[in-house]
Amino acid sequence: MNTKLFSELPTSVRIMEVGPRDGLQNETMALDADQRVGLIRALAAAGVKNIEVGSFVSPKWVPQMADTDTVVSKTGDIDANLSVLVPNPRGMEQALVAEVKEIAVFTATSEAFCLKNTNCSVDESLERIKVVTEQALAAGMRVRGYVSTVLDCPYDGPMDAQRCADISKQLIDMGCYEVSLGDTIGKGTPIRMAHLLETVMKQVPASQLAVHCHDTYGQALANILVSLQMGISVVDSSVGGLGGCPYAKGASGNVATEDVVFMLTEMGIETGIDLSALNAIARDMSVLLDKPLPGHVHKA
């Protein structure tokens, strides 16, 4: 076996579980606050140490994220790093009241997607992020950044890697400790992912990057593997493969957390997560939502 290909793999990977927010926001059935709290507690009990628990967005637009303040108040005792997505200054006001410790902000490489998602241009979204980030840092919060449509946009097609790199650098310069690169419609392939990372890493080090891969075309694990080979050690995933993107028609869910953990474990890479417990959570969510979930390992 040629081990040279795998000689630079990380010894451990930090999983960012996005199911309670990015996953549930695109499910037809809206879970109530207590059901979402139950999911978050189960994930933490399984060893998941980084969980995105909700979003301070208007329930008019994303009803699945209503009562995020209640979810935050009922999960404050959990031994995990919990974050909340904050889309604008109004959301930041709610985050300050809720006294969250970490927020996530987001923009996109694509102008059309940004307009659909946030009703503003990319530059305008970055101005919003700057205001929100300054407030968050002043309040002692950590800030994580997302860039969506890093490889392809459902409206604009293939994206320019240099543009993604420039936007990522701006987020880091604003104070984001990490930028997650999102393949929103899951159309990326390993060589394209490698090119993207090579370009972005000229401006942002691998230690401040994460990958957020959707599995629409079945490419997520392959893209994650090439990312690991290039020095990335943070992976976003969603238990059971929950969710997708409400602003990208046809985009299926994020890569399933249990699929990622299985692959990493079999490769000897530590995650700190109990795979059996994770599979049980995925199966429970399938029953709760009354639908099969796209993850593979929990069904194997």
Pick 141 or 7 by higher pLDDT: 141
Among residues 114, 176, 213, 245, the one annotated as catalytic is: 245
The structural domains of the chain, ordered by start, are: 3-299 (3.20.20.70)
Structure-token pair, residue 60:
């008019």
pLDDT of residue 251: 47
% pLDDT > 70, the chain: 95
250-273 pLDDT, tens per residue? 446 899 999 999 999 999 999 999
| Cα distance between the two ends of the chain | 27
Count of Cβ atoms closer than 10 Å to residue 105 Cβ: 27
Beta partners for 107?
147
Report H helices in 139-274. 161-174, 190-200, 220-229, 257-266
**What is the pTM for the complete model shown?**
0.95
Binned at pLDDT 50, 70 and 90, residue 181 comes out as: very high
pLDDT of residue 119: 84
Binned at pLDDT 50, 70 and 90, residue 247 comes out as: very low
69-113 pLDDT, tens per residue? 999 999 999 999 999 999 999 999 999 999 999 999 999 999 999
Which residues have CB under 8 Å from 110's CB, separation 6+?
Answer: 122, 148, 149, 153, 155, 156, 159
CB 256 within 8 A of CB 241: yes
Per DSSP, 299 falls in state G
- Check if 120 is active-site: no
Whether pLDDT at 1 is above 60: no
